Amino acid sequence: MSFPDHDRSRRTFLLGSLGVAGALVVGWTLLPPRQRLHASPPISWPGHKYPLNGWLSVAADGRVTVMLAKSEMGQGVMTSLAMLVAEELDVPLASVDLMQAPLRAIYGDTSMAADGLPFHPDDQGLVKRGAQWMSRKLMRELGLMVTGGSSSIKDSWLPMREAGAAARARLVAAAARGWGVPETECRTAEGRVSHGSGRSVSYGELAPSAAAIGDVPYALKPVAEFKLIGTPAARLDVPAKVNGSARFGMDVRLEGMRYAMLAMCPVVGGKLKSFDPGAVDKLPGVVRVMALNADPSGAPEAVAVVAESRWQAMQAIEQLPVVWDEGANAPLSSATISQSLLDAVEKENAFSYHQRGDMKAVASAKHISADYSAPFLAHAAMEPVNATAQFVNGRLKLWVPTQAPSLAVSVAARVAGIDEDAVDLVVTLLGGGFGRRLDNDMVAQVVQLAIAMQGAPVQLLWTREQDMAHDFYRPAAMARLTGMLSAEGELVGWDTKSASGAPGQHLIHRAFGLPMMGPDKTTVEGLYDHCYEIPNQLVSHVTVESSVPLGTWRSVGHSHNAFFKESFIDELAHAAGIDPVRFRRQMLYAHPRHLTVLDAAVKLAGKAESGHALGVALHQSFGSIVAQVAEVSVEGTHIRVHKVSCVVDCGVVVNPEGVRQQMESAIAFGLSAALHGEITMSDGRVQQSNFHDYPMLRITDMPEVQVEIIAGSDAPEGVGEPGTPPIAPAVANAVFKLTGKRLRSLPLRLEDAPAS
């Protein structure tokens, strides 16, 4: 085939460009990742503080201010991150203050994306290591500030320690030069530099000269020399929360502030047809009635009433006549969704995420199959969705309880039609996140309101009912699991086929506008990446497109896949006539850490009281291994959990109290979902509206929780989410021991389960 000259020239240009681009990409991959010590542009530190790098400054009185690049949503990250710096800097934790970090690339998370790649935890191959290295390098370039994926400590482990160590080295250098002695003869402790001659000087006195001398070589402490890391520390955020001075998103108060309430279509995906502002615009306090546009961030079309007080806005929005176009989802129901998932499992081709061995080799083994299912779940954070904004002279200021500051600023700038540099964001404390506040639909809404208010600050608050009806839900899921047992009762084959929507695809589409396509690890995590040595495995998944908006929910796919996997492992143990703990132990010969955690949990639990039973579950997620033993009783159809024994191996432990609290929190959160959690659809509408029909675990039902931490020598792994997945299967397995009924659907309801 011949080409005209101009086509040939164009083709040559394109191929040449690709060659240059390829060379640039190859060259870029060979370069080391950018430094994470100094911010560009430099930080403007308030008051008389002397910055020693982009993460910390020292004041003349010796107080250390540390940048907080993560969102505090109750997980205690303020304390554990401050501990990383305080350890390397050799200062008491009590002398550390925290300051919200501005948007700078050095504060971006580099771990979440790498952990999200669909590799097996046991895979230590070159391809995995290379892909993760490239992912971290790319995320370092993007510099996205985000809190999620249980990555806060994992991602901050090196840069914040390096910041402390680098600052300590500069302080030592300043002292040594002032005394005319070698730096190697100086020691640091309790915020002071000392010398063998008896001389000693505080960091506050050294700060001006240390800030002036620039960087000097530094070294991190060996783990054996840690004095603070690994010891229990009281949380730095607690005093303000006790005395009421802590400021959450809903607590923001500004001079002349207005309050906005919304009406949104009750049907998923519905649109605004018409509304009559004249019916309410003369009501007391009403300032404005306006429509809000839908936004790619996930915000639906809405109508807003802005008033002088929240109560006035609430009264007006309830009286506002609104007509909705319910759209194609009006017939949507839980029954049709469940049927679509079942059809996918039974009839559709699935994408294979993990294969091992040869499934044909176990065709003659004893096959045990079971179907498991889980419902949609809402996040139901205690603080409903809210945001505050003010637009003045082309600049936008936001006060938002967000897990994703970078994305919040991006959404705000796009909606306002301004540069991101013209957006100032204050990240408040979060009254719970659980993944819901990775989304910024409320930002798109409040920015539209702020522009319309022409300089007056406006605070948007969703009602609890709206929070429940317009969430980004954990997907409903179904799985058909098949195990192949040898004549000796060994599990020689593992075949799972699951179906659900893809929450990772939904989130990425809303955040970056990327198409919803390709594999989504969150759909099968917990099924393909388990720890059991089974010689023949096939793990596959069918993505069923969801008109119900999906998002990441605490522990994401692990939250339901662990229930499927660990319940079915118990089911297979029963079919093999082997004790469930022994059945697991014989498949952990290549995973000694998992075996240690399992044995420790069983030992911690001891024996069940008379009339009670123990159920066990073991699961790894976000790098951490957790085993839980639930002690359960049954009265009629009521399931009562009396005690949960939990053992966790999360690598290096920064704050043991924080780890313990997160395990306790995850168990309470997971039990709420296991015993009660369910979002159902009818006529395109979410049926649940508040905590009366979407109940949380009551304090009277909270079991005794005992937590044992096995400290590892590796780097820290995730803690915020790994305690959630094992609790549902542990309870279900105990219920089976008591009743002989195998509960294969969440939430756990004895009245719905046939006898096994």
Strands (E), 139-283: 186-189, 192-195, 200-202, 258-264, 271-275
Side-by-side strand order, sheet with 200-202:
186-189, 192-195, 200-202
pTM for this entry = 0.94
- In this structure, the answer to whether residues 368 and 266 fall within a common structural domain is no
- In this structure, the answer to whether residues 487 and 440 fall within a common structural domain is no
Residue 129 lies in a domain: no
- In this structure, the answer to whether residues 740 and 633 fall within a common structural domain is yes
20: helix, strand or coil: helix
End-of-domain residue from the set 426, 461, 496: 461
Is the pLDDT reported for residue 687 higher than 60?
A: yes
Are residues 570 and 729 in contact, defined by beta-carbon separation less than 8 angstroms?
yes
Helix (H) or strand (E) holding 628: strand 624-635
Is the pLDDT reported for residue 21 higher than 80?
A: no
Tokens for 489? 């009762």
Helix (H) or strand (E) holding 66: strand 64-68
647 burial level (CB within 10 Å; 0-12, 13-18, 19+): buried
Is the pLDDT reported for residue 18 higher than 60?
A: no
Which residues are 499's β-sheet partners? 478, 542
Is the pLDDT reported for residue 252 higher than 60?
A: yes
- In this structure, the answer to whether residues 493 and 622 fall within a common structural domain is yes
Is the pLDDT reported for residue 19 higher than 90?
A: no
CATH assignment of the domain containing 97: 3.30.365.10
Where does 200-293 have alpha helices with state H?
203-213, 238-243
Percent helix, strand, coil in the chain (nearest 5)?
A: 35, 25, 40
The pLDDT-based confidence of 714 (bands split at 50, 70, 90) is: confident
Sequence-distant (6+) residues with CB within 8 A of 742 are 370, 567, 571, 732, 736, 753, 756
- Give the pLDDT confidence score for residue 379 in this predicted structure: 98
Report, in angstroms and rounded to the nearest whole number, the Rg of the chain calculated over CA atoms.
28
What number is the average pLDDT over the span 251-256? 98
Residue 239 lies in a domain: yes
Share of the chain above pLDDT 70, in %: 96
- Give the pLDDT confidence score for residue 425 in this predicted structure: 98
Q: What is the pLDDT of residues 475-513, one digit of tens each?
A: 999 999 999 999 999 999 999 999 999 999 999 999 999
Is the pLDDT reported for residue 5 higher than 60?
A: no
Is the pLDDT reported for residue 137 higher than 50?
A: yes
The C-alpha atoms of residue 292 and residue 285 are separated, in whole angstroms, by 20
Residue 315 lies in a domain: yes
Is the pLDDT reported for residue 8 higher than 50?
A: no
14: helix, strand or coil: helix
The pLDDT-based confidence of 34 (bands split at 50, 70, 90) is: confident
Share of the chain above pLDDT 90, in %: 92
Q: Helix 656-675 and helix 558-576: axis angle, to 10°?
A: 80
- Give the pLDDT confidence score for residue 14 in this predicted structure: 40
Tokens for 687? 């049926």
The pLDDT-based confidence of 27 (bands split at 50, 70, 90) is: low
End-of-domain residue from the set 461, 495, 514: 461
Is the pLDDT reported for residue 738 higher than 60?
A: yes
Residue 655 lies in a domain: yes
200: helix, strand or coil: strand
C-alpha distances out from residue 268 to 293, 471, 514, 550, 625, Å: 16, 10, 22, 12, 37
Q: What is the pLDDT of residues 371-415, one digit of tens each?
A: 999 999 999 999 999 999 999 999 999 999 999 999 999 999 999
What number is the average pLDDT over the span 465-472? 98
Residue 124 lies in a domain: no
Sequence-distant (6+) residues with CB within 8 A of 393 are none
Where does 554-639 have alpha helices with state H?
558-576, 580-585, 592-605
- In this structure, the answer to whether residues 259 and 236 fall within a common structural domain is no
Q: What is the pLDDT of residues 178-233, one digit of tens each?
A: 999 999 999 999 999 999 999 999 999 999 999 999 999 999 999 999 999 999 99
Q: Helix 203-213 and helix 152-179: axis angle, to 10°?
A: 90
- In this structure, the answer to whether residues 661 and 521 fall within a common structural domain is yes
Are residues 659 and 76 in contact, defined by beta-carbon separation less than 8 angstroms?
no
Is the pLDDT reported for residue 3 higher than 50?
A: no
What number is the average pLDDT over the span 341-354? 96
Average pLDDT, the chain: 94
Residue 218 lies in a domain: yes
Reference 719, options 732, 707, 701; nearest CA is: 707
- Give the pLDDT confidence score for residue 33 in this predicted structure: 74
The pLDDT-based confidence of 351 (bands split at 50, 70, 90) is: very high
- Give the pLDDT confidence score for residue 12 in this predicted structure: 39
The C-alpha atoms of residue 397 and residue 410 are separated, in whole angstroms, by 13
Residue 148 lies in a domain: no
Is the pLDDT reported for residue 293 higher than 90?
A: yes
∠ Cα 595 601 602 (to 5°): 90
Of 435 and 14, which is predicted with more confidence? Answer: 435
- In this structure, the answer to whether residues 318 and 340 fall within a common structural domain is no
> What is the number of structural domains in the chain?
4
- Give the pLDDT confidence score for residue 25 in this predicted structure: 54
Is the pLDDT reported for residue 15 higher than 70?
A: no
Is the pLDDT reported for residue 133 higher than 70?
A: yes
Tokens for 616? 């066990």
- In this structure, the answer to whether residues 194 and 76 fall within a common structural domain is yes
Is the pLDDT reported for residue 520 higher than 90?
A: yes
Of 9 and 685, which is predicted with more confidence? Answer: 685
End-of-domain residue from the set 429, 461, 493: 461
Is the pLDDT reported for residue 17 higher than 70?
A: no
- Half-sphere exposure (CA, 13 Å, Cβ side) for 59? 12
- Give the pLDDT confidence score for residue 342 in this predicted structure: 98
- In this structure, the answer to whether residues 298 and 401 fall within a common structural domain is yes
- Give the pLDDT confidence score for residue 1 in this predicted structure: 34
The pLDDT-based confidence of 711 (bands split at 50, 70, 90) is: confident
Domain span at residue 19? 1-31
Q: What is the DSSP letter of 476?
A: P
- In this structure, the answer to whether residues 622 and 741 fall within a common structural domain is yes
Is the pLDDT reported for residue 7 higher than 70?
A: no
Peptide bond just before 41 cis, omega within 30 deg: yes
Residue 588 lies in a domain: yes
The C-alpha atoms of residue 555 and residue 626 are separated, in whole angstroms, by 13
The C-alpha atoms of residue 381 and residue 9 are separated, in whole angstroms, by 59
- In this structure, the answer to whether residues 625 and 734 fall within a common structural domain is yes
Reference 748, options 553, 605, 628, 615; nearest CA is: 615
What number is the average pLDDT over the span 316-324? 98
- In this structure, the answer to whether residues 607 and 648 fall within a common structural domain is yes
Tokens for 443? 């930002």
Strands 302-307 vs 458-461: parallel, antiparallel or unpaired:
unpaired
